Each structure stands twice: as C-alpha cells, then as structure tokens.
Copies of this chain bind each other. A is one copy, B any other.
Amino acid sequence: MDTKTTPSKRTGGRSAAVIHNVRTAVEELVEEKGQDRVTVPMIAERAGVNPTSIYRRWGDLPTLINDIATYQLDPARPLPENGDLQRDLTAWASELVEHYRNPVNAALLRGGASAAGERQSNCLRNRRTEAGLILQRYPDSPVTDDDILDVVVAPIIYRVIFVPWTLEDTTAEHLVERLFR
C-alpha cells in the first residue's frame, strides 16, 4: 500500500513530469470546482495523462488527494534553525499555519481526512518526522515529539478542518508558548 503513495521514490524524467502535472491538475480543479466535483477522468484530461496511469500509481481518488495534500509542503525543504528550540518550533508551526490558510490546501486536507483512518497518512508522518528532526538538535529538550503533535499540530489541523477562520498570525506562536509553560 505505502509504496503506491510515495511516488517521490521515482522523481526522474517522465515519472516526475506525470506527478507534477497530476498534482497541478488536482490543485486547479479543486479550486475551480470544489473537491466534491473532481473526478479521476477530469484530472487525467487536465494533466494530459491516461486515467489508468493515475489508477495504477495512486489506486483511487481519495488516496491521490491524500497524497497531493502531503506533497504540498515539500518534505525536502530546509527546517528552521535558529539555535533555540522554541523559536524553531514557532517558525515551523507558522509555516504550517500559513500553508493551510490557503483554501486549496485546506480543502485538500479535508479530502485527506475523509480518506484517512486505515493507515498513517503521509502528511502526519512527515510532520512527526520533522518534529523529531528539530528535537534532535536539542538533546536536553523538555518536550517530546508526542507533545509537539498534541499541543501544536493537532490544534492547528483541528482549526484547518473545522474552523479555518480562527487561524491567525499569532496562532502558531501561542500554541508553541503553551508547550513551554
């Protein structure tokens, strides 16, 4: 199952172009039509690929949406590095908030949510990995990656899904402050 949802393993040439075109098609179509009205044939046409290529690579539409929602936040981007754990986490959480204040990204996350529950989503796994990478630099940290997921990531994702209008410039900062109280 998981190999299907990590197309980043083959990023060269034609394969990378297909992923890029399909991703762009999904983003455009979700923005234009709303996620409920997007179908695989529609995505295939816009991306200029055969629907069977999409089914072969992703399996089904919910998996594709979940996958796209993940890769929007590039897992290979550099993580904040300010020499201070609280500042690093605030910068990192702010990126997350900014990303999901874009309505397309929020809609994709909601789509991912409806398809989630049977296996760890890539999105969640990437956030946990990133939290772990930041923590590694601070071996005396009083907080764990579980704390970061519960106190910072969960309230952000909860807001994105259910009350996106409550995401503010200071949300990330306030949540990270709570972690160090």
Contacts and interface: CB of A to CB of B under 8 A. Distances in A.
Interface in A76-124: 106-107, 110-111, 113-117, 120-121, 124
B107 A110 contact: no
Contact of A107 (B117, B150, B164, B175): B117
B106 A110 contact: no
Contact of A114 (B113, B121, B124, B150): B113
Interface in A116-139: 116-117, 120-121, 124
A153 B161 CA distance: 13
A161 B113 contact: yes
Sorting the interface of chain A by its residue count into under 10, 10 to 19, 20 to 34 or 35 or more gives 20 to 34
A75 interface: no
Contacts of A111: 114
A85 B144 CA distance: 27
Q: State the majority secondary structure of interface residues on A.
A: helix
Contacts of A36: 62
A175 B150 contact: yes
A8 B8 CA distance: 49
A106 B118 CA distance: 11
A178 interface: yes
Interface in A15-56: 35-36
Nearest to A123: B162
Indicate the member of A162, A163, A175 with the most B CB atoms within 10 Å.
A162
Contacts of A114: 35, 110-111, 113-114
Given A161-B113, A163-B120, A151 B151 contact: yes
Given A110-B117, A113-B114, A113-B162, 11 more contacts: A106-B117, A113-B113, A113-B161, A114-B114, A116-B161, A120-B163, A121-B162, A154-B158, A154-B159, A157-B158, A158-B158
